[in-house]
Structure 1
Amino acid sequence: MRKISLIAFVLLIGLATTQAQVKVSPGIRGGLNLSTLTNIDDNGMKSDYYIGGLVEIKFNKYFTLQPEITYSRQGSDGSYFDGNPGQNTIPKDTKYELNYVTLGAVAKFNFGGQGFHVLAGPSLDIKTSDNFGRYGYDPIGTDLAFVGGIGYSLPNGLTFEARFKQGLIDIYGYDGIDYDDYYYDQVILNQVLQFGISYTFKVK
Structure 2
Amino acid sequence: MTKKLFFLLTVFFTVHLQAQMSAKPGLRAGVSFSTISEMHADYRTDFYAGGFIEMNLTKHYALQPEITYSRQGSNNVARNYYDEVSQTDKVEYLDLNLNYLSLAAINKIKFAQGIQLQVGPTLDILLNDNLVVKKTQNDLGLVLGVAYESPSGFIFEARFKKGFLDILSSDYYQNDRNNDYLFGDYNTNINFQLGVSYSFGK
Distance 2:5 2:63 in 1: 32
Distance 1:188 1:148 in 2: 20
Map residues 1-204 of structure 1 onto 2, 5 A cutoff. 1=1, 5=4, 8-40=7-39, 42-81=40-79, 84=82, 87-89=88-90, 91-112=91-112, 114-133=113-132, 137-172=133-168, 184-202=183-201
Q: Measured at CA, do residues 16 and 138 of structure 1 come closer, stay the same or move farther in structure 2, by a change above 3 Å?
A: same
Percent identity (aligned): 36
Q: Is the 8 A contact 1:157 1:202 kept in 2?
A: no
1:101-159 Cα distance to aligned partner (Å, 9 max, x none): 010011111123x41011111000010000113xxx23521100111010001233210
TM-score (norm 1): 0.83
Range 71-80 or range 3-12, more displaced: 3-12
- The CA RMSD over aligned residues, in Å, is 2.5
Q: Measured at CA, do residues 8 and 36 of structure 1 come closer, stay the same or move farther in structure 2, by a change above 3 Å?
A: same
TM-score (norm 2): 0.84
* Higher strand fraction (1 or 2): 2
Range 57-66 or range 149-158, more displaced: 149-158
Distance 2:97 2:108 in 1: 30
Q: Is the 8 A contact 2:134 2:169 kept in 1?
A: no
The 4+ residue runs of structure 1 with deviation greater than 6 A are none
| Runs of at least 5 residues in structure 2 that lack an aligned partner in the other structure | 171-178
Distance 1:200 1:25 in 2: 6
Q: Secondary structure at the match of 1:122?
A: strand
Q: Measured at CA, do residues 24 and 11 of structure 1 come closer, stay the same or move farther in structure 2, by a change above 3 Å?
A: same
